[in-house]
Structure 1
Amino acid sequence: MAIDDIKQLLEEKRYAELKEKIKDMQIQDIAEIVDELDTKNAIILFRLLPKEIATDVFSYLSSERQSEISMMIDENELNEIVSDLFFDDKIDFLEEMPANVVKRILRNTSEAERKLINQFLQYPEYSAGSLMTIEFVDLKKEMTVAEALEKIRRVGRDREIVYTCYVTDAWRKLEGIVSLKDLVLASPDTKVEDIMKKDVIYVDTYDDQEEVADVFKKYDLLAVPVVDQEKRLVGIITIDDIVDVIEEENTEDIQRMAAIQPTEEEYLDATPFMIARKRLLWLLILMISATVSGYIIRKYQVALEAVVALAAFIPMLMDTAGNAGSQASVTVIRSLVLGELKFGDILKVILKEAQVGVLAGVALALVNFIRVYFVEGYGFGIAITISLSLIFTVIIAKIIGGTLPMIAKRIGLDPAIMASPLITTIADAISLTIYFSLAVWILHITM
């Protein structure tokens, strides 16, 4: 159902018809529509939702819309919604809400749940502990398959996943995992310990969310258990939460690669001042670093005055150097993110980028020699200077573009900061130095 149709029904106050039309829609589609409506109509539409789907829709809404709805509905309605949320969604909701909304919720929760919520809220932001949920099925290895399936039937309705169950001992230490498929196919009298897998992939509560995402990608997991320092099972992280993490991390990398400080604000929600503040620091750094290129040009001013034609090719050389370095850096950064490269491969990267640089540099040099010498009619000395400069510049720019992200990763920096803007600035300075040095030597310019 189109949002325009929904707006029309809201304007005409045909609420019974609207309620009938939205009840069969997908949860995510309803949430998207509620997010797009103005506050008044969003509240009306949300109140029209059947209780059995209202909570699910609420969990998919933006934090801003969740906050607005929380302030507009009464306390009993709010508690009903929050109590039906899965625990990890509840924590995510509380983290984004104003203090007065959090107080409204916490004063109506049990002491045990309040203590548990406070514990989760104290985990470092972006850690595995802040992502996990406690809604999982835990079994004991002494159980029979029949007993295990009975427990799943009893508690599974309130758990986020049941397709993987976690086996713990009396002290909650993780001993193994068993899939629902294995339980269903096994004999009812079989012991859980006889079919469980003991080699369990798990993460620690304080592991960074990016490391957790790497574990999911490496082992193709749908869920991963989270343990504390004593290897006690405290929660699980499911794939839906990791998809959000991967999206966040990719967005941050894209922002850093464009020399922008990462921000969680959506573009249209961010103020011009906020956007400028996030961009200004790197613009200042790159502006100051670009003065190196100006210094090199001033140093070789005599060469420029002696052969004025050299100035016409400076932009082309600098742009080519920056583009060559950026190509290499983006490729290597992506390979680092995917785990295809590690620091020990740096010599292989240098060799490969040098080979690519030779091939690309020679091809560009030939095209430019033909253009400069035969088409534009410049002298042989200038044409060969430009062509050789291109070869050396492209080779060095690609080596720098390939190695700097790996060095950044090695010393604990985000490789994305070594992307286009910074590589371009470094490549510009190198290309000018090579260009003028070759010009002085080939054209016999006295400095």
Structure 2
Amino acid sequence: MSEGERAAELIELVEDNDLTGIRLWLAEHRPYEIADELSRMAGGDAIIPFRLLDKDRELEVFEELDPSQQQAILLGLRDSAFHEILEEMDPDDRARLIGEAPAKIATRALAGLSPAERKMTASLLGYPEDSVGRYMTPETVILHRDLLVGRALEVVRARGADAETIYTLPVVSDGRRLVGTVTLGDLVISDDDRLLKDIVDVFAPRVRASEPAEDAARLMQEANLVSLAVVDSEDRFLGLLTFDDALEVIEAADSEDMARQSGASPVGDHYVSVSVLRLVGARSVWLMLLIVAATLTVNVMQAFETTLEEVTALAMFVPMLIGTGGNVGAQSATAIVRALAVGEVRVRDLPRVIWKEARVGLLLGIMLAGLALAIGSLLVGFAVAAVVACSVIAVCTWAAIIGSAMPLFARKVGVDPAVVSSPMVATLVDATGLIIYFSIARLVLGI
């Protein structure tokens, strides 16, 4: 049975209020599959199958949902179930949920937590929204550097059940200052009478809690880490960023970048459950900005009206020219935004990037110019075709420079490079490309 058929089946069961059928469907599917299908439903419909989940699976499914869907589920639960779920959640997941929830839900959630869980949640909420501090887990097993390996294993056995992860273990000195980390595997295969400080990885990467979560997640990706130690400004250990949370951070960042590069604001929630009005709102602002920016092209056309009147054949190639320039600029911008995101390019690489992309644009322009010259000569004669060919070379080179430079300049001034989206680059290249085109026409044709 396909995914679509499974989803339709669950929706039909909910619509028919077939409680027995819903229970059977839930029993046959994994938590992440159930969460995906619940995300496709309106909050009011999703609460019905959620309430029918077994207690031992309820939390697993809940933690797989997006925060907005979690909020919708919570609103449909009685106080006892509401507080029970929040109490059992991992502190980092709970903090992100409460941080994104309306004040009414946040207040109700915090009020129902036990003192220990409330304290942990409040400490995580004290960090900036997109920082590592919001995503780290404080529930870890901390080992002192002077322990013997055998004693350290006893500590892991005693406290491991209450920790979110035990695969990476922080090793600290007095005052909780992080010395490094040791993996559970290294601990298990080491002799019991060895000192922990002899096997600890003192070069293990660490990040400050106030640093951006995306940067930390990318570091984990680059270093192939299962967990990453998080410390404060004085190197005191605070928690671990685990690989599952790092994956969520990267997925969210990539989705946001894709939305911005396409000229839209990120929606964040599951596409199927997002309303038409929200999608319109996410896209309309950018489209209005782009249509205003596109008036530059109209102004350029008006400024060169006399040139067009004298050689009307030039107008035939305007769509081709601005389309080609826009595509080259968009390709360049997309490549640089991605390179910035994964750390392959930095702001200080601006001169190297521009020099490389200028050569790429030039070579692309020469290749396309040959094609334009051949086609143009057949349609309008060699003179106008030569203008088009020269313009293609110049516009492609210029577009590649603009497309590569704008994301780097955006990063330099503290703006998300993805905001300098492909449509924005294409719109700018359209207007400036026409100026290049008509200027070359005047020069070559002597108009």
Same fold (TM over 0.5): yes
Quote the offset at 1:184 in angstroms: 0.7
Q: Which residue of 2 aligns with 1:346?
A: 350
Alpha-carbon contact 1:255-1:261 (below 8 Å) kept: yes
For residues 12-47 of structure 1, give each alpha carbon's deviation from its aligned partner in whole angstroms, at most 9, with x where no partner exists.
Answer: 8563x7646644632212323344456666444334
Is the contact between residue 304 and residue 311 of structure 1 (CA under 8 Å) also seen in structure 2? yes
Residue matched to 2:374: 370
Aligned mates of 2:95, 2:265 — CA distance in 1: 26
Contact 2:328–2:399 (8 Å) recurs in 1: yes
CA offsets, 1:305-343, max 9 Å, x none?
111211221111111111121122212222222221223
Q: Which residue of 2 aligns with 1:434?
A: 436
Of the three residues 291, 302, 314, the one matched with 1:310 is: 314
Larger mean CA deviation between 70-79 and 307-316 belongs to: 70-79
1:27 corresponds in structure 2 to 31
Aligned 1:82-161 pairs, distance under 5 A: 82-161=86-165
Separation (CA, whole Å) in 1 of partners of 2:355 and 2:89: 54
- Aligned-pair CA distance for 1:429: 2.4
Instruction: Write the letter of the residue equivalent to 1:184.
Output: V
Q: Which of 27, 40, 48 is the aligned partner of 2:52?
A: 48
RMSD: 2.6
In structure 2, C-alpha distance between the alignment counterparts of 1:41 and 1:443, rounded to whole Å: 69
Structure 1 SS opposite 2:170: strand
* Separation in structure 2 between the aligned mates of residue 343 and residue 42 of structure 1, nearest angstrom: 46
Q: 2:391 aligns with which of 389, 392, 401?
A: 389
1:220 paired residue among 224, 244, 247? 224
Between 353-362 and 225-234, the greater mean CA deviation after superposition: 353-362
Alignment of 1:41-440 (within 5 A): 42-267=46-271, 269-270=273-274, 274-374=278-378, 376=379, 378-440=380-442
Whether the 8 Å CA contact 2:39–2:273 is kept in 1: the answer is no
Contact preservation (8 Å) 1:56, 1:85: no
Amino acid at match of 2:230: V
One-letter amino acid of the counterpart of residue 222, structure 2 = K
Distance 1:279 1:4 in 2: 29
Quickly say closer, same or farther: Cα 1:24–1:195, change in 2 above 3 A.
farther
Secondary structure class of the residue paired with 1:143: coil
Q: Secondary structure at the match of 2:174?
A: coil
Contact kept, 8 Å, 1:258 with 1:420, in 2: the verdict is: yes
Structure 1 residues 185, 414: CA separation in 2 closer, same or farther (over 3 Å shift)?
same
Shift of 1:150: 1.1
Task: State whether residues 257 and 416 of structure 1, in contact with CA within 8 Å, keep that contact through their aligned partners in structure 2.
Answer: yes
Aligned length: 442
Counterparts of 1:427 and 1:331, CA distance in 2? 17
Change (3 A) 1:417 1:150: same
Instruction: Tell me if the contact between 1:145 and 1:191 (Cα under 8 Å) persists in the aligned partners.
Output: yes
Contact 1:146 1:189 in 2 (8 A): yes
In structure 2, the residue corresponding to 1:236 is in which secondary structure? Answer: strand
For residues 300 and 18 of structure 2, what CA distance do their matches in structure 1 show? 71
Q: Distance in 2 between matches of 1:442 and 1:125?
A: 57
Aligned to 2:264, the other structure's residue is in SS state: coil
Q: Whose radius of gyration is greater, 1 or 2? A: 1
Residues 389 and 438 in structure 1, CA contact (< 8 A), matched pair in contact too: yes
Q: Which whole-Å CA distance do the structure 2 matches of 1:65 and 1:432 have between them?
A: 48
Tell me the distance in 2 between the aligned counterparts of 1:30 and 1:114.
29
Give distance in 2, aligned partners of 1:404 and 1:8: 49
Which secondary structure state, in structure 2, belongs to the residue aligned with residue 229 of structure 1?
Answer: coil
Give the Å deviation of 1:223: 1.0
Q: CA deviation at 1:347?
A: 3.0
Residue identity in the other structure for 1:91: A
Per-residue CA deviation, residues 138-184 of structure 1 (Å, 9 max, x unaligned), is 01112111211111111111211111111123321111211111111
Cα offset, 1:127, TM superposition: 0.9
Q: Residues 386-407 of structure 1: CA distance to partner in whole angstroms, max 9, x if unpaired?
A: 1111122212222222222222
For 2:80, the aligned partner's letter is: N
Q: Which amino acid aligns with 2:79?
A: E
In 2: Cα distance, 1:267 partner to 1:42 partner = 16
Aligned to 2:431, the other structure's residue is in SS state helix
Distance in 2 (CA, whole Å) between partners of 1:86 and 1:206 is 20
Aligned amino acid, residue 93 of structure 2? D
- Amino acid paired to 2:388: I
Matched letter for residue 155 of structure 1: R
Q: Report the 3-state secondary structure (helix = DSSP H, G, I; strand = E; otherwise coil) of the residue aligned with 1:109.
A: coil
Segment of structure 1 superposing worse, 1-10 or 249-258: 1-10
**TM-score (structure 1 length as normaliser):** 0.89
Structure 2 vs 1, CA of residues 351 and 122 (structure 1 numbering), >3 Å: closer, same or farther?
closer
Greater alpha carbon shift after TM alignment, 381-390 vs 113-122: 113-122
